[in-house]
Each structure stands twice: as C-alpha cells, then as structure tokens.
Amino acid sequence: MKQATEREQLTRTDETPILLTEEARRFTEEVIRRSGERVDWCYQCGKCTAGCPVAFAMDIEPSRIMRLVQLGQSERVLKSKAIWLCVGCQTCTTRCPQEIDTAKVMDTLREMALEREVAADKEVVTFFRSFLDNIRRYGRVFEPTLVLQYNLRSGHLLQDADKGPLMLSKGKLPLRPSRNGAIVRKIFDALGGRKR
C-alpha cells in the first residue's frame, strides 16, 4: 500500500470523525483570539488559494493552512514554510466570502512560530528580523544597512557584495536613510515595542 502524500492527507474524504484534543482546541482558540479572525468560519471554498500569487511555492496552500488551524495542528502549521512565504498582499482577504482576513492569520502564525522558536526556515526568519529592525530604526527600508545586517546575522558575509557598487552607480541605493524613523518608532512603541 502506498504512503499518502501531504496533499492527500489534507484532503481526506472518508467518514471517520475527527476528534480534537484539548491542546488542539486551545491552539485554534489562541489563533482566533490573537488574530481577531474567525478561522472556524472557513468552509474551504479555496478562493484564498486560487488568488494567492505565491501559493505555487508554498508547501501547504493557504486554504489548507486554515483547515489545519481549525483542526488544531499547531506543529504542522507553525513549522510550514507557507506562513513565511505569505507576502501580505491581501488578495486572500479580499476574495474570502466569509470575510476572514487570512493575511492577518498568517501574521499571527508567524508571531507564534517565532515565540515558540519552531520556524521552518531559519534564513527567512533571519531576514524577517533584519527587515523589521531596519523599519523600526529608519522608518522605512534602508537597503545598505538591511543587507549588511542580514549578511552578518546569516553568516553570508559577502553575499551580493558585488551588486552594491553597480546599484549605487545606477542610483538604485539611497545614500541616506529616511527621516521618519522617529515617527515609525512611536508606532512600534505603541504596539508594545515587541522585538521579534
């Protein structure tokens, strides 16, 4: 008998009831509480996945992520690469007939993965942290510092170093950071100043 693939396991069609453990229920309730979104209202129409511009690259499609959250499958969800590939474009949110902000749920799942230190792709998390630190500091992305910070944190010290002078010569890299850093820092502080 062949072993079921991940996709086949997620599209089960038999009539066996699914019994949720207390731990599974707590995970679902935590996602609902933290995101403010009624994930349990999702009825798997698939419109979020159909509209997602990066679904093709995800290990688990957005609609399946929602189903796994409903089933309390915290480990599978929080260790998936899909939550890190979400670009927050809001296409899924716009298309949802239940008006669930799926992009907001993905943000919540990323936060939970960081807190529990179970993120699937350490390189993506390293970039994510460098990006947020850069925004917090300068108010918007300041590419020279972002690249330097990411390369130092990831251990790829000279990665893309040859591209800097060319980009600078074509005016694609700013010489000075944005001046709205103080304003954006106030926003971070208002949100609790959380460091990720």
Q: In terms of Cα–Cα distance, which of 77, 159, 141 is closest to 113? A: 77
Could you tell me the residue range of the domain that residue 162 belongs to?
Answer: 122-190
Instruction: State how far the Cα of 111 lies from the Cα of 81, in Å rounded to an integer.
Output: 14
Q: Are residues 29 and 109 in the same domain?
A: yes
Q: Are residues 104 and 32 in the same domain?
A: yes
Q: Is residue 1 part of a domain?
A: no
Helical pair 181-190 and 122-138, crossing angle rounded to 10 deg: 120
Q: Are residues 88 and 173 in the same domain?
A: no
Residue that is last in its domain, among 116, 132, 151 = 116
Question: Residue-wise pLDDT tens for the chain (196 aa)?
Answer: 444 455 445 555 566 666 778 888 999 999 999 999 999 999 999 999 999 999 999 999 999 999 999 999 999 999 998 998 888 899 999 999 999 999 999 999 998 998 888 877 778 788 888 888 888 888 888 888 888 888 888 888 778 777 778 887 887 777 777 777 777 778 877 777 555 4
Residue that is last in its domain, among 50, 85, 116 = 116
Q: What is the pLDDT of residue 109?
A: 95
Residue that is last in its domain, among 116, 141, 156 = 116
Domain count, the chain: 2
Q: Are residues 88 and 132 in the same domain?
A: no
Under 8 Å between Cβ of 144 and 100: no
Q: Are residues 173 and 107 in the same domain?
A: no
Q: Is residue 2 part of a domain?
A: no
Q: Is residue 195 part of a domain?
A: no
Q: Is residue 10 part of a domain?
A: no
